[in-house]
């Protein structure tokens, strides 16, 4: 059975690229342009969450760092690896503060994405 990855990215082109790359690696990918899907994360039971730090629908309400921290401090979801992706220069600090398992700097290399996902999916 294919491992399942939840991709949350508001930029359609980036989202489509990530989905394509991961599906080529034979992962099952569920993708969304907003964070509303996180309300149903237990229904999807993903093996990994790949999440952009800034989604336009969040405005000032929340961001990937805050949502990652919420996921990682909730007993039902704390076991799910979270990778935050962003173009900001302090992405490492954002990921650490959000308790994310890792981060990916945009623009990213396709091989770097695949290796990072493999590292966190067992």
Structure-block tokens of residue 105: 């700097």
pLDDT score for 34: 79
| Strand residues in 20-113 grouped as ranges (E) | 28-32, 48-52, 82-86, 102-105
Q: Which residue has the tokens 């992405």?
A: 91
pTM of the full structure = 0.91
Query: Facing residues of 48 across strands?
Result: 5
Note the CATH architecture for domain 4-120: 3-Layer(aba) Sandwich (3.40)
**What is the distance between the alpha carbons of residues 48 and 102, in angstroms, rounded to a whole number?**
11
Structure-block tokens of residue 37: 């899907």
pLDDT score for 61: 56
- In the structure, what pLDDT confidence band is assigned to residue 64 with cuts at 50, 70 and 90? confident
pLDDT averaged over every residue in the chain: 90
Please compute, for residue 65, the number of CA atoms within 13 A of its CA located in the half-sphere on the CB side. Answer: 14
Domains of the chain: which residue ranges?
Answer: 4-120
Structure-block tokens of residue 43: 């229904």
- What angle do helix axes 12-24 and 110-120 make, rounded to 10 degrees? 60
Indicate if the pLDDT at residue 56 is higher than 70.
no
């Amino acid at each position: 059975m294919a491992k399942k990855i939840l991709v949350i990215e508001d930029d359609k082109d980036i989202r489509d690229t990530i989905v394509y790359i991961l599906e080529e690696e034979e992962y099952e990918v569920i993708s969304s342009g907003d964070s509303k899907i996180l309300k149903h994360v237990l229904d999807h039971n993903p093996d990994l969450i790949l999440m952009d730090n800034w989604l336009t629908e969040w405005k000032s309400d929340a961001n990937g760092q805050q949502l990652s921290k919420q996921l990682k401090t909730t007993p039902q979801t704390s076991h799910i690896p979270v990778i935050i992706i962003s173009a900001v220069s302090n992405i490492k600090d954002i990921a650490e503060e959000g308790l994310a398992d890792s981060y990916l700097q945009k623009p990213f290399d396709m091989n770097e994405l695949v290796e990072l996902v493999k590292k966190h999916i067992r």
